[in-house]
Amino acid sequence: MTVRFAEAAAAAPVSHCVTASRLEAFCRDVPLDRPTLVLDIDRVEEQFRALRAGLGDAHVHYAVKANPHEAVIARLVALGSRFDCASRGEIALCLGQGARPADISYGNTIKRAADIAWAFAEGIRLFAADADEELGKIAAHAPGADVYIRILVENSEADWPLSRKFGCDARTALRLLDLARNLGLNPRGLSFHVGSQTRRAQMWAPVLDQVAQVWHAARARGHDLDLLDIGGGFPAFYGQEIDAPEAYAAAVRAEVDARFGPVPYLMAEPGRGLVAEAGMIVAEVVLVARKSERDMHRWVYLSIGRFSGLAETEGEAIRYQFLTDRDGDPAGPCILAGPSCDSADVLYEKRPVNLPWSLGAGDRVLIRNTGAYTSTYSSVGFNGFPPLDVIAI
Ligand SMILES: *Cc1c(COP(=O)(O)O)cnc(C)c1O
């Protein structure tokens, strides 16, 4: 156990520590009464510029669900980002911040008919689908719209795979392209998601191979596809080594070009990779306890848990890094849990977390790189604990 923690610490690239410092300095001092996510909007801009530089002429459609804070959306609008939205609420948010309808894709494959009609009336023209019935809804409520078909990909090596729920197989995709055309829609291309937190660019290769097969089969069948949506998957630093964002994006772009050639409308939908490292959660220790005298592990209970923002600790899939004012004191393993009265509210137990022995109730705990999938996963107040507060600096 200790060896692994030492390795994780050694793997931390220096650049991440340096760029986190403004945010970290703020988080160490700001007086806060409840768990709060602090966002450094300049870091979002830095990540956007890096990803865009690596992706070349591909269009970045920010996956809004990763963090829909208005300051994030506003900055991305100012930078010329486009947006991928999953719901009426997300579309309204982006339009409200000044995004143009032409720059918004409605990428959720599961949409209410009324929401399709509303989006179409607002000027949204690009919709995703992976089923016959969905194409029927789009044809009825967004006649003539552009559509792309989401492919189900296998063998994702991501830390947080999105497989199974979305997409259809190759044969179905080809049939849906035909159906879209027959319904008077404009079938423009394909989309997929490699899986969230795909740590290395080379992990994209087998997935791109699968999608390229469908792409070339569709073209051979007479579909003049001009849109490829490569989805998200761009990683954030959680302690395991990742490539720097520009290099990662450039490597993915090269893998795409090698298989698809020039694509008139290439789009990428980073969520986590744009916002995770721009956020830090400020929380505190509520209790340190041992269950018995022989208990090997301390239990450390935080003021934030599975239901108040740390949902991605499910299955211990995403392993956040913690900072305290007592770092440097002798440390040892602990089981880390949230404050609510639900036994599922345990963050890390199979692989305990190393924290200082001197840690006690009231001590501040900072959770690094938590700008993605935290505030949006926070319950409205399970057990009376307030939802994760968010402030932008
Ligand atoms: C969630 C989602 C994304 C963003 O994924 P990340 O791994 O956070 O980059 C992109 N596209 C679609 C369709 C999504 O549902």
What CATH number does residue 338 fall under?
2.40.37.10
In terms of domains, do 83 and 182 share one?
yes
- Closest C-alpha to ligand 1, atom 11: 231
Q: Are residues 351 and 385 in the same domain?
A: yes
Pocket of ligand 1 (CB under 6 A): 63, 65-66, 84, 107, 193, 196, 231-234, 269-273
58/145 same-domain check: yes
pLDDT per residue as tens digits for the range 59-92: 999 999 999 999 999 999 999 999 999 999 999 9
- Based on the fold, state whether residues 201 and 317 are members of the same structural domain: no
Confidence band for 380, pLDDT divided at 50, 70 and 90: confident
CB atoms within 10 A of CB 56: 13
Q: Are residues 179 and 306 in the same domain?
A: no
Q: How far is the CA of 58 from the centre of ligand 1 (A)?
A: 16
Specify the CATH number for the domain of residue 86: 3.20.20.10
Domain assignment of residue 72, yes or no:
yes
Shared domain for 128 and 259, answered yes or no, is yes
- Total tally of structural domains belonging to the chain: 2
| Residue 11 reports pLDDT greater than 60 | no
Q: Cα–chain-centroid distance for residue 22? A: 23
Does one domain contain both 207 and 307?
Answer: no
Residue 104 shares a structural domain with residue 210? yes
pLDDT given for residue 9 in this prediction? 39
Q: Is the pLDDT of residue 50 over 60?
A: yes
| 288 and 360, same domain (yes or no) | yes
Pocket probe for ligand 1: among 62, 134, 162, the residue whose CB has the most ligand atoms within 8 Å is: 162
Between the alpha carbon of residue 164 and those of residues 167, 194, 205, 318, the distances in Å are 7, 12, 19, 20
Domain that holds residue 380: 278-392
DSSP collapsed to 3 states, 27-40: HHHCCCCCCEEEEC
pLDDT, position 163: 67
Asked, for residue 249, whether it belongs to a domain, the answer is yes
Q: Are residues 226 and 102 in the same domain?
A: yes
Q: How far apart are CA 370 and CA 156, in angstroms?
A: 23
270 found inside a domain: yes
Q: Confirm whether 340 is domain-assigned.
A: yes
pLDDT at 46 over 90: yes
Choose the weakest-confidence range: 2-16, 200-214, 255-269, 293-307: 2-16
- How far is 262 from 256, CA to CA, in rounded Å? 9
Q: Do 102 and 152 belong to one domain? A: yes
Tell me the pLDDT tens digit for each residue of 145-194: 999 999 999 867 778 777 678 999 999 999 999 999 999 999 999 999 99
| pLDDT score, position 375 | 95
Q: Ligand 1 centre and the CA of 109: distance in Å?
A: 12
Between the CA of 270 and the centroid of ligand 1 the distance, in Å, is 6
Which of 256, 276, 296 marks a domain boundary? 276
| Residue at which a domain ends, from 276, 309, 342 | 276
165 with 296, same domain: the answer is no
Residue 338 covered by a domain = yes
pLDDT tens for each residue of 84-120: 999 999 999 999 999 999 999 999 999 999 999 999 9
- In this structure, which residue's CA is closest to atom 3 in ligand 1? 232
Containing 111, the helix (H) or strand (E) segment is: none
Widest CA span of the chain, in angstroms? 72
The domain boundary residue, chosen from 244, 276, 308: 276
